[in-house]
């Protein structure tokens, strides 16, 4: 993998995670009050993780190449946390 593909891949993951947050918001909007109450804590967790990932992304964009590995590791941890939070939230989505 070239250095140029690292930022590109991380940006794609960040975009995908924004889509996850948007999906939870949509499910909340479409759902009952009970569903909204169940999803709210998960949405708050997702939004917090996304905010932290965006901060790390900004640091990644302005960092030197030597710092990329450390920041990439932090971003990947944030992405993993968000994926886990989404899976917990998804359990409350209505069946399709």
pTM of the model: 0.62
At residue 33, the pLDDT reads 87
Q: Is residue 59 part of a domain?
A: yes
Q: What mean pLDDT comes out for the span 6-12?
A: 77
DSSP of 17-84: HHHHHHHHHHHHHHS-HHHHHHHHHHHHHHHHHHHHHHHHHHHHHHS-GGGHHHHHHHHHHHHHHHHH
At residue 93, the pLDDT reads 78
- pLDDT, tens digit (0-9, with 9 covering 90-100), for 23-62: 888 888 888 888 888 888 888 888 888 888 888 778 777 7
At residue 54, the pLDDT reads 83
Q: Is residue 76 part of a domain?
A: yes
Q: What mean pLDDT comes out for the span 59-83?
A: 75
- Tally of domains within the chain: 1
Q: Which domain holds residue 41?
A: 6-92
At residue 1, the pLDDT reads 45
């Amino acid at each position: 993998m070239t250095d140029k593909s690292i930022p590109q891949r991380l940006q794609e993951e960040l975009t995908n995670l924004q889509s996850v947050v948007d999906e939870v918001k949509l499910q909340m909007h479409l759902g009952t009050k009970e569903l909204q109450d169940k999803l709210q804590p998960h949405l708050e967790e997702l939004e917090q993780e996304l905010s932290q990932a965006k901060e790390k992304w900004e640091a990644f964009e302005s960092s030197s190449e030597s710092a990329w590995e450390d920041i990439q590791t932090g971003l990947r941890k944030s992405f993993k946390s968000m994926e886990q939070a989404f899976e917990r939230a998804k359990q409350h989505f209505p069946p399709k």
